[in-house]
Amino acid sequence: MNQVKYKFLKYIKFDTKSNPESNSTPSTVKQFELAKELQKELEDLELSNIKLTDKCYLYATLPANSDKKVPAIGFIAHMDTAPDTSGENVNPQIHEDYNGEDIILNEKENIILSPKDFPELTKYKGQTIITTDGTTLLGADDKAGIASIMTAIEYLQKHPEIKHGDIKIAFTPDEEIGRGADHFDVDFFNAEFAYTIDGGEIGELEYENFNAASLSVTIAGRNVHPGTAKNQMINSINVAHEFHSMLPNIKRPEHTDGYEGFYHLMDISGTIDETKMTYIIRDHDRTKFEEMKEHVIHVAELLNKSHHKELIKLEIKDSYYNMREKIEPVMHIVDFAKQAMKDANVKPKIKPIRGGTDGSRLSYMGLPCPNIFTGGHNFHGKYEYIPLQSLEKAVEVIINITKIVHNN
C-alpha cells in the first residue's frame, strides 16, 4: 500500500489544470504530460490494448487470468484538475500522526486548516494527512483516483493468485470543465460496467446525481441621458435584477442540500444597454428539473410582457442527467461496491452527488458507472487534503470489487 502514497505524490507534481475558455480537446496540452507518464507505467506493467488518443484519452486492459466467464469491468479517473485554483508547483505537506489540532499550511500567509472550520478533520486523528502548502490545490481530485487504480492494477498484476476477468482502465481529460466524456470510446473500452474513482470522503458510494442545465440570459436595454430619461430609458441592469428576484430565494445553493435543487447565478456583467447573466440549474428529480426550466421561461415572458418589448433572450442547454435511471436496472453493480467496502472494513455511505461525474454521462452512453470514494476533502482549493489511510482503502476496495465480480 506504500505504492499508492508514492504514486499520488508523483502525479500531483504534474500541472494538469483544464481551461473552460479553450475549445480544444484536451483543453490544455499539459494534460498529455501526465497521460504519457501513465502510458509508460502501463507499458512497464505489460498491460494490453494500451491506447493514448489524440484527444488525451488513455485506455488499457489487464487481461483475465481465469477461465471462468466473467464480465469485463472498468475503473475510470480523470487527469485534469479544477481551474478554480492553481495546480502549478504543488508542494504537498505530510502530517504524520495528526494530533487533531490546527494544521498551519502557510505561516507567512496565515493559512490554517482548522477543525473549527472543517470539523470532519477530527475523524482522522492519529492518521497521516496530506495537505497543500496553502498556495495551490492538492490535486486529489482526481489524482487520488488515478493513484488508487494504478496501485490496484499493479498489485493484481503481481498477485496472479487473485483471479479476475478482463479489467479495463481509462484516464480522461477535462472532467472538471464538463467535457470528460465527450470523446470517450465506450466500444473500445468494452466493459460491461465501470466505476469512476472520483468521490470524496471514505465510504462514499454514489449512483445518483443532479440533472443539470446551463442558462444564458441576455437583456437588452436602451440608454438615454438620465436627465431626460423618463418613459424613455430601459436600464438592462435593473431588468436583470427583476429577473433574478423572480427566481425563488430558497432555491439557491447556499440554502439547499441533499436532494434539493437550485438556480445558481454564476456570472453577471452589464451596462444600461445590455446585461448578461449565466446560471446553472440543478435538481435530482427530472420532473422538478423540467419545471425549473419552464419557470425561467415563464419569468422571461412575464417581464417581456410588462415592458412591452422582447428585452430578454434565453439560451438553455441540458448538460447531463441523473444516472440513477440507468443504474437502477443493474443495481447489482452497486451491491458489488457495497460488499467490497464492507470487506475492507469501510462503512458504505450512499448519498446523491450534488454535482455530476463522467459516470453520469457514461451511464447514458451505455456504460453504467457508479462513483466510489478516493478519500479526499475540500477539493478545488488550497484547503484540500486527503488522509493516507483513506486513499489506501480506495485501493483495497478496487481489488475487492475484482474478486467479488469474479466469484459472483
For the chain, which residues make up each domain, given as ranges? 2-208+322-407, 211-319
**Which pLDDT does position 235 carry in this prediction?**
96
**Which pLDDT does position 136 carry in this prediction?**
95
**Whether residue 122 has pLDDT greater than 80:** yes
Q: Which of 15, 141, 166, 175 is catalytic?
A: 175
Using a pLDDT cut of 70, give the percent of the chain over it.
Answer: 100
Q: How many angstroms from the chain centroid is the CA of residue 208?
A: 13
Annotated active-site residue 37? The verdict is no
Is the pLDDT higher at 357 or at 337?
A: 337
**Tens digits of residue pLDDT in 273-307:** 999 999 999 999 999 999 999 999 999 999 999 99
Say if CB 234 and CB 378 are below 8 A apart.
Answer: no
311-321: average pLDDT: 95
**Which pLDDT does position 355 carry in this prediction?**
80
**Tens digits of residue pLDDT in 157-211:** 999 999 999 999 999 999 999 899 999 999 999 999 999 999 999 999 999 999 9
Beta-carbon contacts of residue 139 (< 8 Å; ≥ 6 apart)? 11, 12, 16, 81, 87, 90, 384
**Whether residue 319 has pLDDT greater than 90:** no
**Which pLDDT does position 315 carry in this prediction?**
97
Class of domain 211-319: alpha beta
Would you say domain 2-208+322-407 falls under CATH 3.40.50.970? no
**Measured between alpha carbons, how far is residue 283 from residues 52, 252, 297 in Å?**
35, 11, 17
104-114: average pLDDT: 93
**Whether residue 358 has pLDDT greater than 90:** no
Rounded CA separation 341/386 (Å): 18
Please give the mean pLDDT across all residues of the chain. 96
**Which pLDDT does position 357 carry in this prediction?**
79
CA angle centred on 336, ends 335 and 339, rounded to 5°: 85
Annotated active-site residue 174? The verdict is no
56-81: average pLDDT: 97
Q: Which of 80, 142, 384, 392 is catalytic?
A: 80
**Whether residue 215 has pLDDT greater than 80:** yes
Q: For residue 285, say if its preceding peptide bond is cis, omega within 30 degrees of 0.
A: no
**Whether residue 356 has pLDDT greater than 80:** no
109-114: average pLDDT: 94
**Whether residue 1 has pLDDT greater than 80:** no
Say if CB 404 and CB 73 are below 8 A apart.
Answer: no
Which residue, 396, 296, 381, is CA-closest to 339?
396
**Which pLDDT does position 172 carry in this prediction?**
98
86-106: average pLDDT: 95
